[in-house]
Chains A and B, each alone.
Chain A
Amino acid sequence: MDGEELTEQETALYDRQIRVWGAGAQRRLSKAHILVCGITGTIAEFCKNIVLAGVGSLTLVDDRAVTEEALSANFLIPSDENVCAGKTLTELCRDSLKDFNPMVRVSVEKGDLSSFGAEFYSKFDVVVVSCCSFTTKKLINEKCRKLSKRVAFYTVDCRDSCGEIFVDLQHHKYSKQKREETIECELHYPSFEESISIPWKALPRKFSKLYFAMRVIERFEEVEQRKPGELSIADLPAVVKLKKELCVAQSLNESHIPNVLLERLVTDTREFPPVCPIIGGILGQEVIKAISGKGDPLKNFFFFDAMDGKGIIEDVSGKP
């Protein structure tokens, strides 16, 4: 297919997954370059998945130091202080990830996400951002969209036992198997900003409550100039007040955003550990689909809440 053959070593290591997605997809994976910004437990899961899958390279960006919070759901950081001494969060994660699959190049990039220029982003096929502000998400998404090549863009956030994934594949062509046939398909995605600007009233009646709740929290953090997740129960009255204002402005019945849900999201902003492999697993699968061009990718939001156990896809593109 794509010219080069897989090596004997690759065929042996990837045997079970080649049986799932084929040798062609495996070759495309091995040429893909992934950028990940913001290390969380969910991102650690995602990185593990794509390193095991055998992508070409993975670049990590996060200048934060190792904190107790960073440790809580992250299995990439060894507890041995001698190993950790003098290393940053990303460097420790890089070392563990390299160990998972020596065939994948894992590296660390220092610096501030929003300061990177278009040229930097053009080195990648996939960009995944986590725990960054609303403004930064929009900014990076726009930078990716302006490039001449298609860069798949994802955001992922986990709070309490809830998770959200946003996907922008711009124009995505792919094939899928239907019965015995291979069908060629095409999808068009809106940007993050276009997507969330769609009036709430225009969304289908049965819609994930988590979508609205996450937008309220996102707006609150933006207005109050908080860092992502810098919230507590003390903020609940102000968050509920903001919710009411937004619901009035958007003509949405307030019952679509239960206060109990907002309470969970402001009280416990840490990730609930069992939710990390679920969100990180779905995200990994989606990135593999985007790279391989095989199978229906999700469009364009995914929500999971451990309280009801549902993993739901919502299409927020104005074209139902």
Chain B
Amino acid sequence: MASLKHLPAVKGAKVLMVGAGGIGCELLKTLALSGFQDIHIIDMDTIEVSNLNRQFLFRQSHVGQSKAKVAREAVLKFRPHISITPYHANVKDSDFNVDFFKQFNVVLNGLDNLDARRHVNRLCLAADVPLIESGTTGFLGQVTVHVKGRTECYECQPKPAPKTYPVCTITSTPSKFVHCIVWAKELLFAKLFGDKNQANDLNVRSSDGASSSKQAEDVFEHRKDEDIEQYGRRIYDHVFGYNIEVALSNEETWKNRNRPKPIYSSEFMPNDLSQQNGSMEKNGAANDISSVSAMASLGMKNPQDVWSLKENSRVFLEALKLFFLKREKEIGNLTFDKDDQLAVEFVTAAANIRAASFGIPLHSLFEAKGIAGNIVHAVATTNAIIAGLIVIEAIKVLKNDTKNYRMTYCLEHPTRKMLLMPVEPFEPNRSCYVCSETPLSLEINTHHAKLRDFVEKIVKAMLGMSLPLIMHGSALLYEIGDDLDEEMVANYAANLDKVLSELPTPVTSGTMLTIEDLQQELSCQINIKHREEFDEEKEPDGMVLSGWTQAPSVVKDDKESIANAGSTSNEPSVEAEKNDEIEIPPEKKRKLSEISEAVYPDLSSVDGDTRNPDKLQVLDDDDELMIFDNWDSVTDKKIRMQ
């Protein structure tokens, strides 16, 4: 008899779904068909056109509406008598606190970012509610089960860090198209349209860097009464011409590299631009900012086309002009957004011109958009499969069928004949700072580093806390919260600008700090060690946190190949062979069954079957096991540069 069909457990269950996107739509449908009757669903997003190829509960007419609410309506059409409670909100809102989580029997994640996943993991640990986590990229996917004290938590294993590039590769020696994209998006776009006060490495460092930087600052300023066409050409000539000349003057750099070619706008454009370039009239009627497009005004249609250098130059100048003429109010506050057509056009053109200068192949807007926006490749089938697997695990969790919990990988290429590969969950990592109480250790220069650096780089960026409280013994050094009085706020603000050793309660070598997040009910300890010097290239933050696990570099490489899969119009470049390179640290190999069952796990429990050599195979050769941990979880992070 199929013991999986345990309807009472399913009918009586109250479940929380976080995310109503690709996995979420499939999951909500499958839960409803499987007999679940009380489902709560949180999603802060609204529906977009590019969702419709897989988020099948949504239609064109729903674009702009709440995903959680529309998903509910759609499912009620075929299962009208169940209860679905939607929340059009951020799961990090304070309403969704530990007490809120405690009302559920199981939490099911269908999220697209690391930050929210970590947050939900912590709330599930604090509320002691089992969590089923999932993720997909193209044809790859995985489902994992996290039960406090029994299996590892979501943060027990290292997560791939966002891909980073050395500054000089971006500013001076790009060798791949992605380097040109990073330059166009993070440096040039930010310089021209973003916050002017942000530090920016746009100008190449030359031997006389100090004197030229002052002059260079003025170059990007749009002078009063300066003709916009003139301004555009001045910028063009400066970044693609003059800056390359300056870089070329540094002979050392080019000893073992191909020398780039300076490009000036006069090569492609006669001086009388206005006739050559697009006419504003085509955009004239469009007051809607989202429809302002350089491609449209130049009469270019196909985003799959690779433009010539001349076409890129025209798009560059046209896009720049349109920003100043149509979107002037936003200038100074813009950040790159993959859904901003004009921004994508500008970045594509700028990246291509730079690529041409460095002899790197040019790319289409479609491809450039994928790279610049870190777009996750997504298909309906993988999401459907993953949703089915989530529900199977959810039913096991509700029946407390602990011995049969599995993490399952959905593969593109079969491994030992398997496309769907189940593996026993790992036991908790005893040195995980989230689910165990092991202290972390931080090397930092306590005489130079300010409390602000510590809060931003360690507490927020690395520990993922949003409402932190920092204590030294019983003394409060810092906290964020709604209920603080003015005096405290002023006090904390003053502390932020002090170096650690000069705080009211000085933080020095040997100090043990306690960091808490009241919303996540997470508390951890950090042992401070003073260190004078840090390597600027390798340790750009000027601090080293240990005990907090950074991703192994092979995972990063793999992440990159996925993120860049959009750069070819072929299949994703990920191969099973590559995945085999990913290693699991040896200490992670302990498994639940080994604690209770010594050497050989109890095979008869696996499926109620007699001993089966197939099962043994899966259970005992996990050194071949693959981990692809939520590549998509990190793709919403900006490409960091150090």
Contact = CB atoms under 8 A, between A and B. Distances in A.
A78 B78 contact: yes
A54 interface: yes
A67 interface: no
Nearest to B33: A273
Interface string A238-264: 000000000000000001001011011
Question: Interface majority SS on B: helix, strand, loop or mixed?
Answer: mixed
Contacts of A308: 422, 606-607, 609, 615
Interface stretch (A44-52, A109-117, A123-131, A195-203): A44-52
B69 interface: no
B414 A313 contact: yes
Interface in B12-52: 26, 29-30, 32-35, 49-50, 52
Contacts of A79: 77-80
Contacts of A221: none
A284 B380 contact: yes
Choose among B54, B80, B376 the residue with the greatest number of A CB atoms under 10 Å from its CB. Answer: B54
Interface stretch (B149-157, B231-239, B383-391): B383-391
Interface string B370-406: 1000011111111011011101100100000000001
A56 interface: no
Nearest to A312: B417
A22 interface: yes
B547 interface: no
A238 B330 CA distance: 77
A117 B614 CA distance: 44
Contacts of A99: 59
B384 A272 contact: no
Contacts of A77: 78
Contact of B422 (A49, A284, A310): A310
A11 B573 CA distance: 21
Contacts of A278: 384-385, 388-389, 420
B575 A13 contact: no
Contacts of B608: 260, 307
A13 B378 CA distance: 12
A276 B1 contact: no
Given A276-B388, A313-B418, 7 more contacts: A11-B366, A22-B568, A49-B384, A264-B2, A285-B382, A298-B414, A306-B392
B4 A272 contact: yes
Contact of A20 (B2, B34, B139, B417): B139
Contact of B378 (A16, A161, A182, A267): A16
A319 interface: no
A180 to B, nearest CB: 8
Contacts of A230: none
30 contacts: A8-B301, A12-B49, A15-B375, A16-B50, A16-B376, A17-B377, A19-B565, A20-B571, A21-B571, A75-B75, A79-B79, A99-B59, A178-B575, A255-B610, A274-B389, A274-B391, A276-B33, A277-B26, A278-B384, A278-B389, A281-B381, A282-B419, A285-B379, A295-B412, A307-B2, A307-B4, A308-B606, A309-B420, A310-B618, A311-B410
A311 B418 contact: yes
A260 B5 contact: no
